[in-house]
Amino acid sequence: MIAIVNYNMGNLGSVYNAFEKIGEKAVIESRAERLKDYDKLILPGVGAFGDAMEHLESSGLKDAMIDFAKSGKLIMGTCLGMQLLFESSQEFGESRGLGLIEGKVVAFDKSRFDNLELKVPHMGWNEMFTKGLTSKKNKLFDGLSEEFYLYFVHSYHVECDDKYAIGKTQYGYEFVSAVNKENIYGFQPHPEKSHNVGLKILENFVKM
């Protein structure tokens, strides 16, 4: 059974509907003490990093998620949920994250856009590429090519060791858009809004 973690910061309805579309039962869960009862967790999210961490801490979900990760069960964070997996964020000052993956969240650096008139937030369809990032293809991408389009909405992105990067995207410059460390996965784009490709990624996550 899959839990969609509810900490008052997520697009829960669209994530829930995405799992329904692939024929998988998911539960929207806000009770920290119940997380241990699930096989997999999805941590969605939209909004500010600091506010999200405040909700996770006050609800007890932060410690419950860390314990869940230590158990070896699978976790996937999407959009803000991916960023929360890391150690810290520079959004509206320094905020501490869940610390499940080494790295930090930074704002897009417009000085690196090489005079391209690109808007921030990065919003809309963009390509994720996976070729050459790991020694073997990640199981989350089974049935997909090495390049595919997903839907993004974000002003910040992660910086981490390339050993965790399983997907990258170009927007002014190259940034990490998907990560994996052992049983923990993160996607900067929204799989639930990315039509067939996003649904395929969620389906692969279910099968793992």
Average pLDDT of span 54-79: 97
pLDDT digits (tens, 9 = 90+) for 160-173: 999 999 999 999 99
Measure Cα distances from 197 to 153, 173, 187, 208 in Å.
17, 23, 13, 17
Please confirm, yes or no, whether 117 is among the known catalytic residues: no
Among residues 29, 79, 91, 160, which one is catalytic? 79
Please confirm, yes or no, whether 192 is among the known catalytic residues: yes
pLDDT band at 62 (very low <50, low <70, confident <90, very high): very high
pTM for the structure as a whole: 0.95
Decide if 154 contacts 79 (C-beta within 8 A): yes
Among residues 122, 157, 190, 203, which one is catalytic? 190
Q: What's the pLDDT at 136?
A: 72
Q: What's the pLDDT at 10?
A: 77
Q: What's the pLDDT at 182?
A: 97
Closest to 71 (Cα-Cα) out of 63, 80, 79 = 63
pLDDT digits (tens, 9 = 90+) for 95-150: 999 999 999 999 999 999 987 889 999 999 999 999 889 867 899 999 999 999 99
Does residue 33 surpass a pLDDT of 80?
yes
| pLDDT above 90: percentage of residues in the chain | 91
Tell me how long the chain is: 208
